[in-house]
Amino acid sequence: MPANDKLADLFYKRNNCKCETAFSSFDSSSSSGPFRGFVSFGQDESGSTTIFGAFNRGFNPDCFYEFLIENENGKVLYNVTRGLNVQIKSDGSTEAFTHKFKNINLNCHSNGILLGGSNMRDSVSYCSNKKFVVKTDNQHAAKKICT
């Protein structure tokens, strides 16, 4: 194909974001509140990030919960509640959830949620200063987003 062919340009044009993964683990620590589960983040080469996970306990089926990504000062960067559409089951767990967010990236652009943070002591893991948050009127649990 000729070098100036627009179709050829489209075929070869790609974003070159690094495919990256991260997680937030809601374990038995006090910052997890009553919630137990795991949230994962997967960035594709276009910079879009799929958030997926499940919780096995901690939710009251009669309450409304928000799912947020906050910075280190508690400022909401992204409200992912609607996109994730987390379904709470009668036993306090959730159905597995997943959604691809085209406006959220891990480290592809200057606003990536993994940018800004530090290595965990004695570990090869890296934790961002951003947190995944589960919030209701009287509960706020936040866990760092780590690689």
Burial class (CB in 10 A: 0-12, 13-18, 19+), 81: middle
Lowest-confidence pick of 14-18, 38-42, 68-72, 104-108: 14-18
Q: Which domains does the chain have, with CATH numbers?
A: 14-146 (2.60.40)
Instruction: Show the tokens assigned to 92.
Output: 């306090």
Coil vs helix vs strand at 25: strand
- Nearest of 60, 62, 59, 4 to residue 26 by alpha carbon: 59
Angstrom distance (rounded) from CA 49 to CA 144: 17
Q: Which residue has the tokens 């959220």?
A: 104
pLDDT of residue 41: 98
Angstrom distance (rounded) from CA 106 to CA 128: 10
CA angle at residue 122 from 119 to 126, to 5 degrees? 20
Residue-wise pLDDT for 69-124, tens only, equals 999 999 999 999 999 999 999 999 999 999 999 999 999 998 999 987 655 444 46
Mean pLDDT (the chain) is: 88
Instruction: Show the tokens assigned to 113.
Output: 């949620």
Q: How many CB atoms sit inside 10 A of residue 89's CB?
A: 12
